[in-house]
Structure 1
Amino acid sequence: MRRKRYHRPGILYEEDDQNPLTGVANLFDIAMVFSVALMIALVMSFQLPELLSPTADITIVKNPGQPDMKIIVKEGQNIEVLNMTDQIGGGTGEALGTAYQLADGRVVYVPDSGNDTGS
């Protein structure tokens, strides 16, 4: 006669230990926290915390003076990227005057004497 033996679970036995996917949810949470921290560290390393502010207006010029120059304009929540082409920031024209930057940071525009701008 065969007797069935009752196997009593031990103290360390838990039902969750047999499911290998229980740790995946915790790994996903850790990965999300790590990615958010990495993005914040990246913004802070470029010293641009204004990009995170919803009210700050900022303009960034990438590769100034180069043919692949880009202008990034953030006004409030709207972000616009302008790729430099002949239609934007280029083309032909004539000089109207000269701009000078003073020692205190102000910019003064002086029109050419040949052009009468009315001001």
Structure 2
Amino acid sequence: MKLRLQDAGDDADDPVLSLVNLIDVFLVIIAALLLAVAKNPLNPFSDEKVTVIRKAGTPEMEVVVKDGRKIEHFKGDGASQSAGRGVKAGTAWRMPDGSLVYVPD
């Protein structure tokens, strides 16, 4: 009886090929995540000075300032809580060329 060898070119049923394709997909996902972290303005590995304003114009506004590795958060009190507490500190004048000049009292 003769034993026939299977055709060596038929790799359609090889389970290792699907595993290799799955690893390729995960490598692409990891590369995309690394790019997203690198593009983030609050990246902990950069020494840039960045200011981010969240929920601008609302009472819950938050300002995040990153200077090197130091990150500070400033939260707004809300317009209703600070209404009427301020004191006039000076006057601002708009000049004909569009610039502003502050004159303290």
Distance 2:19 2:94 in 1: 64
* Aligned AA (2:104): P
2:88 is aligned, of 70, 91, 95, to 95
The equivalent residue for 1:79 is 71
Q: 1:19-57 CA deviation, whole Å, 9 max, x = no partner?
A: 3423211110012223445x37xx5xxxxx865682321
Q: What root-mean-square deviation, in Å, do the aligned CA atoms of Structure 1 and Structure 2 show?
A: 3.7
Task: Tell me: higher relative CO, structure 1 or 2? Use CA pairs within 8 A at least 6 residues apart.
Answer: 2
Give the TM-score of the pair, scaled to structure 1: 0.52
SS in 1 for 2:21: helix
Q: 56, 66, 75: which one pairs with 2:48?
A: 56
Q: Secondary structure at the match of 1:110?
A: strand
User: Does the C-alpha gap of structure 1 residues 11 and 65 become closer, same or farther in structure 2, counting only changes over 3 Å?
Assistant: closer
Q: After TM superposition, give the deviation of residue 67 of structure 1 in Å.
A: 0.8
TM-score w.r.t. length of structure 2: 0.57
Aligned with residue 25 of structure 1, among 23, 26, 31: 23
**1:95-114 → structure 2 map (5 Å cutoff):** 95-99=88-92, 108-112=101-105
- Deviation per CA, 1:47-83: give whole Å up to 9, x if none: xx86568232122333444212111211112333322
Pairing partner for 2:58 from 63, 66, 71: 66
Deviating runs (4+, > 4 A) in structure 1?
49-53, 99-105
CA shift at 1:97, angstroms?
A: 1.7
Q: Per-residue deviation at 1:95?
A: 2.0
User: Where do 5+ consecutive residues of structure 2 fail to align?
Assistant: none
CA distance in structure 1 between the partners assigned to 2:57 and 2:15 by the alignment:
62
- The unaligned stretches of length 5 or more in structure 1 are 44-48, 113-119
SS state at 1:21 partner: helix
